[in-house]
């Protein structure tokens, strides 16, 4: 039987591929037989995805070396460690506009820059899959009671991640005629060893399965969106959040 989930020979760019989720995605996609190229500032060959010239050069290199681009995964983000970045968890009326602009630049504008760079090659091929890594907070308001007192989930994160779904749908509508698909993977919070027990407990109580996601649990949903198994799916969000947003 043909394996519709097979990624053998596919060339896939992963932005943020050195990060927490990104590195899990890269390892999994490579295990599935894909050739993966990382666009990340924290990489042996750094690529700053907020810089159009740097993205264009890196994309041209992918085409020159590998001959095609089958997928792009937008997994870069300005994610903050809980407890580390007080400024990011500031009351909203005091939230720094400089920080707001920076976060929109990384979470949203850069995803536009990378999509603009890769799409011409996908159009030549008449195929491709663009996957935006959104967030449960793209769909719902943050429940600030799960954070330490006086901390409020980064308003620029919540806003830019909601915007990402608009970006995804806009591109889906535009690219459909070229047989290029654009979808979002919408994950809930993933467990990290560095999280405080109290935060894990409160976060876990937010969803129907009563736990944060395990590491690796978003890999197969991503594989689905990049593979021929999802060939008739575009403009949609695949929500993998333990039921949090269905409550």
Residue with smaller CB distance to ligand NAD, 69 or 113 = 113
Please give the helix or strand (H or E) that residue 204 lies within, else none. helix 197-204
Residue with smaller CB distance to ligand NAD, 163 or 187 = 187
Least distance (Å) between residue 188 CB and ligand NAD: 6
* Residue 106 found at the interface with ligand NAD (CB under 6 A): yes
Q: Are 234 and 182 in contact (CB under 8 A)?
A: yes
Contact region for ligand NAD (CB under 6 A) — 4-12, 43-51, 123-131, 229-237?
A: 43-51
* Residue 27 found at the interface with ligand NAD (CB under 6 A): no
Under 8 Å CB-to-CB from 8, ≥6 apart: which residues?
A: 32, 33, 34
Contact region for ligand NAD (CB under 6 A) — 5-13, 20-28, 59-67, 143-151?
A: 20-28
3-state secondary structure of 71: strand
Question: Pattern 121-160, binding to ligand NAD, x per CB under 6 A?
Answer: ------------x-x-------------------------
Q: Of these, 32, 49, 62, 175, which contacts ligand NAD (CB under 6 A)?
A: 49
Q: Report the residue number whose CB is nearest to ligand NAD.
A: 19
φ, ψ at 143 (rounded to 5°):
-95, 100
* Residue 163 found at the interface with ligand NAD (CB under 6 A): no
Among candidates 226, 219, 227, 220, which has minimal Cα distance to 24?
A: 219
Q: What is the DSSP letter of 244?
A: G
3-state secondary structure of 115: helix
């Amino acid at each position: 039987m043909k394996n519709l989930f097979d990624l053998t020979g596919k060339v896939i760019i992963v932005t943020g591929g050195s990060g927490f989720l990104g590195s899990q995605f890269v390892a999994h996609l490579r295990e599935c037989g894909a050739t993966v190229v990382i666009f990340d500032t924290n990489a042996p060959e750094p690529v700053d995805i907020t810089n159009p010239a740097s993205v264009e050069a890196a994309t041209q290199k992918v085409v020159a070396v590998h001959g095609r681009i089958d997928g792009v995964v937008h997994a870069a983000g300005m994610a903050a460690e809980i407890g580390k970045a007080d400024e990011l968890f500031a009351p909203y009326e005091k939230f720094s506009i400089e920080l707001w602009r920076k976060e929109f630049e990384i979470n949203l504008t850069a995803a536009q820059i990378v999509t603009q760079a890769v799409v011409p090659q996908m159009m030549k091929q008449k195929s491709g899959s663009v996957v935006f890594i959104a967030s449960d907070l793209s769909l719902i308001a943050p429940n600030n009671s799960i954070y330490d007192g006086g901390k409020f989930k980064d308003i620029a994160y919540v806003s830019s991640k909601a915007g990402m779904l608009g970006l995804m749908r806009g591109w889906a509508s535009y690219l459909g005629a070229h047989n290029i698909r654009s979808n979002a993977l919408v994950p809930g919070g993933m467990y990290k060893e560095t999280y405080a027990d109290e935060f894990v407990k409160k976060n876990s109580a937010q969803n129907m399965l009563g736990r944060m996601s395990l590491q690796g649990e978003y890999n197969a949903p991503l594989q689905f969106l990049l593979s021929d198994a999802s060939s008739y799916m575009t403009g949609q969000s695949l929500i993998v959040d333990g039921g949090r947003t269905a409550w």
